[in-house]
Amino acid sequence: MLVKEVMIENVIKAPPEMNIVEAAKTMTENRIGSLVVVKDESLAGLITDRDILTKVVAKGKDINKTTIGDIMSKEVIYVKPDLDIEDAAEIMTENGVKKLPVIDNDTLLGIITASDIIAAHPKIMEKIESLVLLAKKEKPIAG
């Protein structure tokens, strides 16, 4: 099974100038945990709800003045649409990520998540089991 067969094509994109409040609202309204950051139609980065928690809230930064461009991951690992989903799961595991933008010829086509892979192909669960275990071992931030 290929990435293009299970990827989400309706990717919610955001400009790097978007502030944290707007980003959180966008994620909440769309029931998603990340935004693909795009500048001039090119992938600029990726921001997750966890980034907002650990890089903004936990550090006491101003949520109205901090932009997603300030805290996004700029070195984004991505995959091509014709990659086998088992290989995508392996990339996720090796890099400790749960989301991979799908790009071809510098064009964002979609995004694939660990949940998409699990839902599409239950045997892949073994491949990303270590990623899930790693997430469970993360210590919560004391409030």
Q: What is the pLDDT of residues 67-115, one digit of tens each?
A: 999 999 999 999 999 999 989 999 999 998 999 999 998 889 999 998 8
Mean pLDDT score, 124-137: 66
Task: Provide the pLDDT for residue 121.
Answer: 65
Asked whether residue 42 is assigned to any structural domain, the reply reads: yes
29: tokens are 């309204």
Asked whether residue 142 is assigned to any structural domain, the reply reads: no
Identify the domain containing residue 61 by its residue range: 3-137
Asked whether residue 74 is assigned to any structural domain, the reply reads: yes
Q: What is the chain's alpha carbon radius of gyration, rounded to the nearest angstrom?
A: 15
Beta strands in the chain (DSSP E): 13-14, 34-39, 42-48, 99-104, 107-113
CATH no. for residue 123?
3.10.580.10
User: Number of structural domains, the chain?
Assistant: 1
Asked whether residue 32 is assigned to any structural domain, the reply reads: yes
Grade residue 52 by pLDDT with cuts at 50, 70 and 90: very high
